[in-house]
């Protein structure tokens, strides 16, 4: 084996090893995702609990089903922009839930409504009559860099960051919010916006990524082997002695 062939073997082996390592890493991430989803699925399947019984740790409260009971403060509601549903643009309505004997309000995602520009909407027609009652699940706030607020609508937000939004409310808001679940067909009629439904617990793209990395490893090894075989065959042909014709 000459220097060029040896270098090819080393490079191909290193590339294959790196791809295999990345593939195993993706499988580990999928396993972690499955374990996490299993925890969340158990929380979603558990009987709904009152908001007052939620764990103080928002991570432990995530996806737990809760009972919504109180009064909506429609004067302080906000919208989450650029939310599509079945291919149509819209917004999510989040209304503070005021509870008796508690000075901290809980934001409740009451559902999706159509908005042509994904930002503006007439919220007055979506004020539900009577006390706020229902079943939902707990979601956590997020934070990221960039402008959280829509430049055209002061109470329209691109994502939900509790710290950035706190000054927009006349009372403290809880470190989590609640997404209402559909209770019956009545939830999509009249002034009740279509609820969002239960979250989908998927495994993400880790399985397909792992397959891609393992494929790259196989391509590296197979490609190196084919090239080595072709090189050897060509070398054997070049060095073969010419045959003498029989007289």
Domain ranges of the chain: 3-37+206-237, 64-188
The reported pLDDT for the residue numbered 228 is 76
The reported pLDDT for the residue numbered 240 is 63
Contact 158, 92 (CB under 8 A): no
User: Residue 186 above 90 pLDDT?
Assistant: no
Which of 62-71, 145-154, 218-227, 232-241 is least confident?
232-241
User: Residue 177 above 90 pLDDT?
Assistant: yes
How much is the pTM? 0.74
Which of 28-32, 143-147, 152-156, 231-235 is least confident?
231-235
User: Residue 17 above 60 pLDDT?
Assistant: yes
Looking up tokens 């979506």 gives 126
The reported pLDDT for the residue numbered 2 is 65
Looking up tokens 């430049």 gives 151
For 227-239, write each residue's pLDDT tens digit: 777 777 776 776 6
User: Residue 28 above 80 pLDDT?
Assistant: yes
Burial class (CB in 10 A: 0-12, 13-18, 19+), 63: buried
Scanning the chain, the segments in alpha helix (DSSP H) are 3-45, 58-61, 162-165, 206-239
For 52-94, write each residue's pLDDT tens digit: 888 888 888 888 999 999 999 999 999 999 999 889 999 999 9
Average pLDDT of the chain to the nearest whole number: 86
- Cα–Cα nearest to 204, from 22, 21, 35, 16: 35
Helix axes 3-45, 206-239, angle to 10 degrees: 170
User: Residue 184 above 80 pLDDT?
Assistant: no
- Cα–Cα nearest to 92, from 119, 113, 117: 113
Q: How confident is the model at residue 161 (pLDDT cuts 50, 70, 90)?
A: very high
The reported pLDDT for the residue numbered 244 is 56
């Amino acid at each position: 084996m000459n220097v060029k062939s040896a270098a090819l073997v080393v490079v191909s082996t290193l590339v294959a090893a790196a791809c295999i390592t990345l593939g195993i890493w993706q499988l580990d991430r999928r396993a972690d995702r499955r374990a996490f989803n299993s925890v969340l699925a158990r929380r979603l399947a558990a009987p709904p609990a009152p908001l007052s019984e939620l764990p103080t740790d928002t991570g432990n409260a995530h996806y737990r089903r809760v009972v919504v009971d109180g009064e909506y403060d429609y004067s302080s509601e906000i919208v989450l922009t650029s939310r599509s549903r079945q291919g149509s643009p819209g917004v999510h309505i989040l209304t503070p839930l005021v509870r008796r004997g508690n000075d901290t309000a809980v934001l409740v995602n009451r559902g999706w409504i159509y908005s042509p520009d994904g930002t503006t909407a007439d919220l007055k027609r979506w004020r539900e009559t009577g006390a706020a009652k229902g079943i939902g699940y707990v979601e956590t706030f997020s934070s990221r860099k960039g402008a959280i607020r829509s430049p055209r609508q002061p109470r329209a937000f691109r994502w939900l960051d509790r710290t950035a939004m706190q000054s927009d409310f006349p009372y403290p808001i809880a470190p989590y919010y609640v997404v209402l679940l559909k209770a019956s067909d009545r939830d999509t009629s009249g002034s009740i916006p279509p609820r969002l439904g239960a979250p989908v617990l998927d495994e993400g793209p880790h399985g397909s990524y792992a397959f891609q990395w393992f494929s790259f490893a196989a391509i590296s090894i197979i490609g190196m082997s084919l090239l080595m075989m072709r090189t050897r065959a060509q070398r054997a042909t070049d060095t073969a002695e010419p045959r003498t014709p029989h007289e």
